[in-house]
């Protein structure tokens, strides 16, 4: 595990489960320029590493993340003149990560931290988790993040959260589809372990291709013409090494080669 005093823990275990931990617990994991730089670098590193099978995002201390450090480093919210990434850039990099991504959320998950968690494929929430988008209460719009929040919440629910700035709990987040599962804080590690076991059964290259397809095809109508353009991609995957191995494993009633043994 590597730890940067400016606020990120990065680790990857022997199975290929990589973890990026927001680590400014005394600030509620509020992000500043340095944290964004480190997050961007960590996501890029783990996205490109063929040994990584899953990327987990979590927070240290009482909260997942309380949003931007608006009273601290103003560069975290400025334009790109200083050459550093914005939280939006980090969100988009996480959204484009070819690995399965999991957000493990406890405590507060607010503003940009909420957007970041919403860009993960799966969001596991502790029963003490709380979500909010309070930017309008602070006097500024949330414009660049609207597409990310709308995808997670839907337009109607997002209107409510934006104009009220209210906080919603884990149960409401589950109802709205923001969270995929809610469990007690003490059960979070077991829930994560079970999810990772399931994810490890999916072929890595096929998973990356599926994620790319989901991003590229989101919102498109399933017309015959579109299906015709996608059929060759399906055939290539079916005949590729993973497709051959997956069918052989199914036929032989064994685990495929990409699934860690003994799980």
Q: Using the 3D structure, point to which of 180, 199, 218 is the last residue of a domain.
A: 199
Question: Could you tell me if residue 258 is inside a domain?
Answer: no
The answer, yes or no, to whether residue 255 has pLDDT greater than 60, is yes
Q: Are residues 238 and 139 in the same domain?
A: no
Q: Are residues 217 and 195 in the same domain?
A: no
Q: Are residues 230 and 134 in the same domain?
A: no
CA end-to-end span of the chain, whole Å?
Answer: 24
User: pLDDT at position 142, please?
Assistant: 87
Tens digit of pLDDT for each residue in 1-26? 666 566 899 999 999 999 999 999 99
Question: Could you tell me if residue 90 is inside a domain?
Answer: yes
- Number of domains, the chain: 2
Question: Could you tell me if residue 231 is inside a domain?
Answer: yes
Say which residue the tokens 């596991």 belong to. Answer: 124
Is residue 110 within 8 A of residue 66, CB to CB? The reply is yes
Is residue 115 within 8 A of residue 86, CB to CB? The reply is no
Per-position b or e across 214-250, b if 16+ CB within 10 A of its CB:
eeeeeeeeeeeeeeeeeeeeeeebeeeebbeebeeee
User: The domain containing residue 39 runs over which residues?
Assistant: 2-199
* pLDDT, average across residues 168-185: 97
Q: Are residues 215 and 245 in the same domain?
A: yes
Tens digit of pLDDT for each residue in 62-91? 999 999 887 666 555 555 555 678 899 999
What's the predicted TM-score (pTM) here? 0.91
As given in the structure block, the two tokens for residue 219 are 């919102």
Is residue 7 within 8 A of residue 24, CB to CB? The reply is yes
The answer, yes or no, to whether residue 263 has pLDDT greater than 50, is no
Q: Are residues 72 and 116 in the same domain?
A: yes
CB neighbourhood size of 20 (10 A)? 24
Question: Could you tell me if residue 261 is inside a domain?
Answer: no
Residue 228 pLDDT grade (very low, low, confident, very high; cuts 50, 70, 90): confident
Q: Are residues 103 and 220 in the same domain?
A: no
Q: Are residues 110 and 148 in the same domain?
A: yes
User: pLDDT at position 5, please?
Assistant: 60
The proportion of the chain whose per-residue pLDDT surpasses 70, expressed as a percent, equals 92
Residue 261: beta bridge partners? Answer: none
Q: Are residues 15 and 142 in the same domain?
A: yes
CATH number of the domain within which 89 lies = 3.90.226.10
* pLDDT, average across residues 141-170: 93
* pLDDT, average across residues 106-111: 97
């Amino acid at each position: 595990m590597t730890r940067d005093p400016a606020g990120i823990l990065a680790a990857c275990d022997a199975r290929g489960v990589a973890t990026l931990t927001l680590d400014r617990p005394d600030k509620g994991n509020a992000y500043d320029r340095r944290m964004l730089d480190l997050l961007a670098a960590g996501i890029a590193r783990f996205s490109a590493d063929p040994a990584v099978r899953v990327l987990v995002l979590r927070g240290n201390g009482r909260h997942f993340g309380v949003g931007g450090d608006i009273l601290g480093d103003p560069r975290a919210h400025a334009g790109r003149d200083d050459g550093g990434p914005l939280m939006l850039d980090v969100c988009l990099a996480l959204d484009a990560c070819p690995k399965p991504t999991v957000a493990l959320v406890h405590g507060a998950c607010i503003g940009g931290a909420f957007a970041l968690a919403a860009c993960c494929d799966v969001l596991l929430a502790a029963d003490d988790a709380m979500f909010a988008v309070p930017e309008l209460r602070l006097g500024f719009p949330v414009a660049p993040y609207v597409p990310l929040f709308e995808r997670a919440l839907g337009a109607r629910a997002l209107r409510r959260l934006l104009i009220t700035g209210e906080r919603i709990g884990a149960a409401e987040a589950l109802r709205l589809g923001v969270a995929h599962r809610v469990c007690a804080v003490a059960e979070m590690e077991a829930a994560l372990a079970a999810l990772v076991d399931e994810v490890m059964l999916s072929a890595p290259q096929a998973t990356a291709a599926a994620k790319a397809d989901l991003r590229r095809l989101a919102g498109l109508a399933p017309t015959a013409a579109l299906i015709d353009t996608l059929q060759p991609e399906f055939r290539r995957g079916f005949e590729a090494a993973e497709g051959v191995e997956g069918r052989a494993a199914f036929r032989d009633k064994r685990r495929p080669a990409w699934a860690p043994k003994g799980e």
